[in-house]
Amino acid sequence: MLFGQILGWIFRPPLEGREILKQMQEVGVRSFPVVIITAAFTGMVLALQSFTGFKRFGAETMVGTVVALSMTRELGPVLTGLMVSGRVGSAMAAELGTMRVTEQIDALYTLATNPIKYLVVPRFLAAMIMLPILVIFADIIGILGGYLVSVQILGTNPTLYFRRTWNFLELDDLYAGLLKALFFGMIIATVSCSQGFSARGGAEGVGRATTQAVVLSSLTILISNYFITALLF
Amino acid sequence: MNKQSAAKIRVANLYKSFGESQVLRGVDLEVHEGESMVVIGGSGSGKTVLIKCIIGLMQPDEGKIYVDDLEISNLNEKGMNEVRKKFGMLFQWGALFDSMTVWENVGFGLRHQTRLKEEDIRRIASEKLALVGLRNVEDLMPSELSGGMRKRVSLARAIAIEPEILLYDEPTTGIDPIMADAINDLIVEMREKLNVTSIAITHDMKSAYKIGDRIAMLYQGKIIEVGTPEEIRNSSNSIVQQFIEGKSEGPIKVVDPSLLMMTSRQIRNEVREQRVEKNDGGGV
């Protein structure tokens, strides 16, 4: 329901430029370290694990392909989505929830400002724009992490590793991942903001809204991930 | 006091319930242009609901609300926003935007409703803050202010867009008696300087006598008496008398008698259950 209202307000000028930039910094720039660390270690462990498996039928050189495909198509967007829903979704729900229970949302109405336009639309746009950007970085860092482990620890030939990565990676893989990221961004903002808006009853209510925001947006991301993948398959 | 016959705000036969509980059961109220109306009533009598219906934060189930003879309860979002520009509201706990500085709070309405330049907004914000007796607080954050100062800032924000109508939600609750009296003085001053129509809701009789041209008593979802402070003080209605004198004995029951039979543990459980029910109803 909120999603419909968001779409209704997005195309009505003027957009809150200042708020959008502030939120883009919050969603994008501040989530950067978390996303980078997650991606690096995921790429590294992927290399280790697939090496163990592939060694059994002598296909060690394919590790690069597996890491690149898994990162771009699947783990980059999903793990970024989950990390951001934990970090940013909880913050959105807590902030809007507090504004709700302290009547700040009512105050916005009395100042003839629509809270959906002023609070939700900037968060929605920021998440929608920043998630794909974060995912691009996650993909690159994940692939580099896999490279590092393969070359430095497992002793794979570096040129061969990169060739295997590039030759089998298609732009479609990247697009599929970014499309997912776009959806995940919309999911995080919509779910978290609607939880925040419906918070009732003081600190307890805000706490519940925050938990719900993270749980619901994570679940929605995982479930929709399957269906988006199935559609693009 | 100049009492013109034109009703600035007219509330007719207003009903509002939440689930099982009927909060407003046919409220009728008329507020004249330039008049200061005070609505008194106990906690849970529906004062806040009434004021929130008037400014369109809640939709009444039944009944009509006229502002300048325009019926507002069926307006769309855009029309309602136009009506809201006539209003300024002082919230009980201030409801200041805590991500913004004091002057940005005061200037919020100006920034969003006018095309004024940043310096002008800041200048006007400082003027309005001075009007409520605050200086050199422009760059503080709301969390750095005391309760009384927050109310003053909230009042400054409410008058920044020069509204025709001011609504005060419990203006003196939660602050010390001296600060409360200062707020009362401010409210009187606002009426004299800005010539606004105002509605205040309160259970503080001292405040009601001081700021009200007329006082209306809300009891069990209805206005049971309206009159000047003098008339209310001499009211023959025993409910009104009990309330203004603040006695626990009388026709208004302090607690639900069934609760008296319960142990404290049962009461606690009852309250918890009600809270859970309420939350389940509100959330997703």
ipTM: 0.80
Under a CB-based contact definition with an 8 Å cutoff, are residues B168 and B90 in contact? yes
Domain count of the fold of chain B: 2
**Which residue in the set B84, B96, B275 is minimally distant from A110, CB to CB?**
B84
Q: What pLDDT shows up at residue B268?
A: 62
For residue A41, give the 3-state DSSP assignment: helix
**A208 neighbourhood in chain B, CB within 8 Å:** 279, 283
**B158 and B270 belong to one structural domain:** no
Domain hosting B269: range is 253-284
**B135 and B173 belong to one structural domain:** yes
Question: Residue B275: is its pLDDT beyond 70?
Answer: no
Task: Examine residue B26 and state whether it is found in any structural domain, yes or no.
Answer: yes
**B181 and B47 belong to one structural domain:** yes
Report residue B198: phi and psi, to 5°: -140, 150
Q: For residue B1, what pLDDT band results from cuts at 50, 70 and 90? A: very low
Q: For residue B161, what pLDDT band results from cuts at 50, 70 and 90? A: confident
**A109 neighbourhood in chain B, CB within 8 Å:** 55-57, 84
Residues 6+ apart with CB under 8 A from A146: A43, A44, A46, A47, A63, A64, A67, A68, A71
Element (H, E) at A202: helix A202-232
Q: In what order do the strands lie in the sheet with B222-227?
A: B87-90, B165-169, B197-202, B36-40, B214-219, B222-227
Q: What pLDDT shows up at residue A194?
A: 94
Q: What is the DSSP letter of A14?
A: P
Percentage of the residues of chain B whose pLDDT score is greater than 90: 30
Task: Examine residue B214 and state whether it is found in any structural domain, yes or no.
Answer: yes
For the whole model, what pTM was predicted? 0.83
Closest approach of chain A CAs to the CA of B58, in angstroms?
A: 10
pLDDT in tens, B60-102: 899 999 999 888 878 888 888 888 889 999 998 889 999 899 9
- Six-digit token string for A88: 């940013």
**B272 and B235 belong to one structural domain:** no
The residue among A188, A190, A194, A182 whose CA lies nearest residue A214 is A188
- Count residue pairs from A and B with Cβ separation < 8 A: 76
**B145 and B258 belong to one structural domain:** no
Report CA torsion sign: B83, B87, B91, B96: positive
- CATH classification at residue B12: 3.40.50.300
pLDDT in tens, A185-226: 999 999 999 999 999 888 899 999 999 999 999 999 999 999
Task: Examine residue B2 and state whether it is found in any structural domain, yes or no.
Answer: no
Closest approach of chain B CAs to the CA of A85, in angstroms?
A: 18
Task: Examine residue B1 and state whether it is found in any structural domain, yes or no.
Answer: no
Q: Which ranges constitute the DSSP H helices of B24-146?
A: 47-54, 77-84, 102-106, 108-113, 118-131
Q: For residue A106, what pLDDT band results from cuts at 50, 70 and 90? A: very high
**A114 neighbourhood in chain B, CB within 8 Å:** 77, 81
pLDDT in tens, B176-213: 888 888 889 988 988 888 889 999 999 889 899 999 99
Interface contact B279-A199, CB threshold 8 A? no
Task: Examine residue B178 and state whether it is found in any structural domain, yes or no.
Answer: yes
**B209 and B242 belong to one structural domain:** yes
Lowest mean pLDDT among A12-21, A35-44, B180-189: A12-21
Q: Domains of chain A: which residue ranges?
A: 19-232
| Mean pLDDT of the region A73-81 | 93
